[in-house]
Chain A
Amino acid sequence: MLRVEKITQVFGGVTALRDVSFSVAKGEIKGVIGPNGAGKTTLFNIISGIYRQTSGDVFLAEKKITQFTPERLARRGMVRTFQNVELFGNMTVLENVMIGLHTKSRSGILSSALKFPTAIREERRIRQKALECLEFAGITEHAEETADNLPFGKCRLLEIARAMALEPAIILLDEPAAGLNARETADLGQLIERIRATGVTVVLVEHDMELVMDICDSILVLNLGEKLAEGTPLEIQENQKVITAYLGEG
């Protein structure tokens, strides 16, 4: 589904990523872990088209997507969430999800402003679909609330609901459990499993080891900008290099 080849990212004199390669199979949940500063978020920003890497390539379903803009990637079925939650704060929860359906609709300025019948029908369809996405994430009762007023845990869910509205082929989740309590994290785990069950491939950067070990099919470990290890949760847990990176020399 997703293949990353020899990504290197240099910021000024600092090498944030060096020759990182990995691939994600269709329908898999892939975890990306590593100590702070390992380059996990940088990797996400490159794959999702927000940064331009110094070198290396990214392929989505065998199609080269190196340096595609985020909006172009959205149309190809790749979507992401953000570590610090990037919601549209002044819009309602429902409207946030309706933005997720932007690529699924096409009315332009004129047909919208002149209320062409096609635009009216499309608007109705968008609203209906958005409500289904809220239901999927279990936040229907908040539909008319302003996003800024949501409790933090629900913001995470909303961001995922909004991303799912695109009907993506692959979704990148950047630390979705950060700031969540144990109960909310457990719910999140179930939501991610439900996402996979709909056939969507998931890549997840996460610090919560319990969650990662629990739901991931395979894990990529980064350390200081380099790939340290890759394998199943069990293999990673027993990998000496990984243990050293996290805990230091014994």
Chain B
Amino acid sequence: MGTERNVLLKYLLFSAAVLVAPIFFSGGYLLNVLVFVGINTMLALALNLLLGYAGQISLGQAAFFGLGSYISGVATANYGMNPWTALVLAAVVVGVIAFTIGFPILKLKGHYLAMSTLGFGIIIYILFNETIDLTGGPSGLSGIPYFSVGEFQFDSDLKNYFLIWGFALLMILFSVNLVNSRIGRALRAIHDSEVAARVMGVNARLLKVQIFALSAVFSSIAGSLYAHTMTFISPASFGFNFSVELLTMVVIGGLGTVYGSFLGAALLTLLPEFLRTLQDYDIVFYGLLLVLMTMFMPGGLVRIPSLVLPFLAKFKVRRQGNA
């Protein structure tokens, strides 16, 4: 947690790093990858609020991401809506959907919750594929317009980088404040002992549904941003595999940590670019990574400093002792 000042400092440092990053990757194709890191950071963060803080699993996150994308895509490409309006519309619709299904679904716990969110994800995935008149089906939806402000169009990687990271930074700030508040505390309480949280007057059922809906809205916004920067979307991006990948990001980055979401998203987005040589075997590598992480570093990447620093300190003391 740290003190309030440390929290703010960390956020400012992170934002500064995000702002200067393009200098080092300008024009390159890595910049394009960093755009994806931004989108995946939002998605991982959304899942982390639900899973890492409230302790509720969802294997249907890709569906909310996809719904955001498709509502945005269809409304703009087929009906000529302004992309910004479409983003808001998608977020509201997805929020309402999540809130509605959240009440029955979040009564379930553990494996049953995982299965029901999985089922929801599959239903939505099939919907994208089968409503061909609307979505273009498996061959995808093209002709989605870029975002624009007046004459200015977000049509290059660099412009989209700042657009997407702008949103990501806002979501991170929102989340950092939330998890360090009365609400964040109540979420962690539900995670540790739901019955005790309820006895303390926390309306666990409502709060779980609210955070589920918030997670869906974040995912939907990421989806709209994705649709309007790629200008082409197809159902393949929103399948079950991607939900599992998001789960992997959160676990590897660090459950219940805001910045862990970024670390996990960055690793799992950048890694494939370096693992091209492994071709189809990259999935083996992911599996191995997940197993090793959960065995040796269950706290996630975000814990590395707290693991390494004491070790270094000890090393230093020993050297001084020898001298």
Q: Is the CB of A71 within 8 A of B192?
A: no
User: Once the chains are docked, how many angstroms separate the CA of A125 from the CA of B196?
Assistant: 22
Select which of B175, B203, B211 is within 8 A of A71 by beta carbon: B203
Which residues of A49-84 are within 8 A (CB) of B? 50, 69-71, 73-75, 79-80, 82
A122 CB contacts on chain B under 8 angstroms: 182
Q: Is the CB of A71 within 8 A of B177?
A: no
Nearest CB in chain A: distance from B169 CB, A: 14
Does any Cβ of A come within 8 Å of B307's Cβ?
A: no
Interface size in chain B (residues, C-beta < 8 A): 28
Binding-face segment, B82-90, B183-191, B312-320? B183-191
* Central interface residue in B192, B198, B200, B210, by most chain A CB within 10 Å: B200
* Central interface residue in A102, A107, A114, A166, by most chain B CB within 10 Å: A102
Does any Cβ of A come within 8 Å of B305's Cβ?
A: no
Q: Is the CB of A107 within 8 A of B182?
A: yes
Q: Fill in one digit per residue for A152-172: 1 if any B CB lies within 8 Å of its CB, else 0.
A: 000000000011001000000
Does any Cβ of A come within 8 Å of B178's Cβ?
A: yes
Q: Is the CB of B182 within 8 A of A113?
A: no
Which residues of B193-228 are within 8 A (CB) of A? 193, 195-204, 210-211, 214
User: Once the chains are docked, how many angstroms separate the CA of A212 from the CA of B195?
Assistant: 27
A123 CB contacts on chain B under 8 angstroms: 181-182
Considering the complex, give the chain B residue whose CB is closest to the CB of A74: B201
Q: Is the CB of A71 within 8 A of B186?
A: no
Considering the complex, give the chain B residue whose CB is closest to the CB of A78: B199
Nearest CB in chain A: distance from B45 CB, A: 12
Given A88-B189, A90-B188, A114-B174, do A107 and B183 touch, yes or no (CB 8 Å)?
yes
Select which of B184, B195, B201, B203 is within 8 A of A112 by beta carbon: B184
B204 CB contacts on chain A under 8 angstroms: 71
Nearest CB in chain A: distance from B216 CB, A: 13
A74 CB contacts on chain B under 8 angstroms: 198-201
Nearest CB in chain A: distance from B56 CB, A: 15
Considering the complex, give the chain A residue whose CB is closest to the CB of B213: A109
User: Once the chains are docked, how many angstroms separate the CA of A69 from the CA of B200?
Assistant: 11
Q: Is the CB of B181 within 8 A of A113?
A: yes
Q: Is the CB of B188 within 8 A of A103?
A: no
Which residues of B135-189 are within 8 A (CB) of A? 174-175, 177-178, 181-186, 188-189
Considering the complex, give the chain B residue whose CB is closest to the CB of A76: B201
User: Once the chains are docked, how many angstroms separate the CA of A74 from the CA of B177?
Assistant: 26
A86 CB contacts on chain B under 8 angstroms: 193, 195-196, 199
Q: Is the CB of B196 within 8 A of A102?
A: no
Select which of B177, B184, B193 is within 8 A of A114 by beta carbon: B177
A82 CB contacts on chain B under 8 angstroms: 195-196
Q: Is the CB of B199 within 8 A of A102?
A: no
B-side interface mostly: helix
Q: Is the CB of A90 within 8 A of B192?
A: yes
User: Once the chains are docked, how many angstroms separate the CA of A53 from the CA of B252?
Assistant: 44
User: Once the chains are docked, how many angstroms separate the CA of A109 from the CA of B181?
Assistant: 9
B202 CB contacts on chain A under 8 angstroms: 71, 99, 102
Considering the complex, give the chain A residue whose CB is closest to the CB of B192: A88
Q: Is the CB of B200 within 8 A of A162?
A: yes
Nearest CB in chain B: distance from A33 CB, A: 23
Q: Is the CB of B178 within 8 A of A102?
A: no
User: Once the chains are docked, how many angstroms separate the CA of A140 from the CA of B184?
Assistant: 23
B188 CB contacts on chain A under 8 angstroms: 88, 90-91, 95
Q: Is the CB of A48 within 8 A of B199?
A: yes
A119 CB contacts on chain B under 8 angstroms: 181-182
A71 CB contacts on chain B under 8 angstroms: 198-199, 201-204
Nearest CB in chain B: distance from A68 CB, A: 11
Q: Is the CB of B189 within 8 A of A99?
A: yes
Nearest CB in chain B: distance from A76 CB, A: 10
A113 CB contacts on chain B under 8 angstroms: 174-175, 177-178, 181, 183
Select which of A73, A91, A163 is within 8 A of B192 by beta carbon: A91
Q: Is the CB of A102 within 8 A of B201?
A: yes
User: Once the chains are docked, how many angstroms separate the CA of A75 from the CA of B202?
Assistant: 10
Q: Is the CB of A80 within 8 A of B186?
A: no
Considering the complex, give the chain B residue whose CB is closest to the CB of A96: B189
Nearest CB in chain A: distance from B214 CB, A: 6
B195 CB contacts on chain A under 8 angstroms: 50, 70, 82, 86
27 CB contacts below 8 A, A to B, read A48-B199, A69-B198, A71-B198, A71-B199, A71-B203, A74-B200, A80-B199, A82-B195, A86-B195, A86-B196, A87-B192, A88-B192, A89-B193, A91-B185, A99-B185, A99-B186, A99-B202, A103-B201, A109-B210, A112-B178, A113-B174, A113-B183, A114-B177, A119-B181, A123-B181, A123-B182, A126-B182
Chain B interface residues toward A at CB < 8 A: 174-175, 177-178, 181-186, 188-189, 191-193, 195-204, 210-211, 214
Given A69-B198, A71-B199, A88-B188, 13 new contacts (CB under 8 A): A70-B195, A70-B198, A71-B198, A74-B200, A90-B192, A91-B189, A98-B182, A98-B185, A103-B200, A108-B183, A109-B214, A112-B178, A115-B177
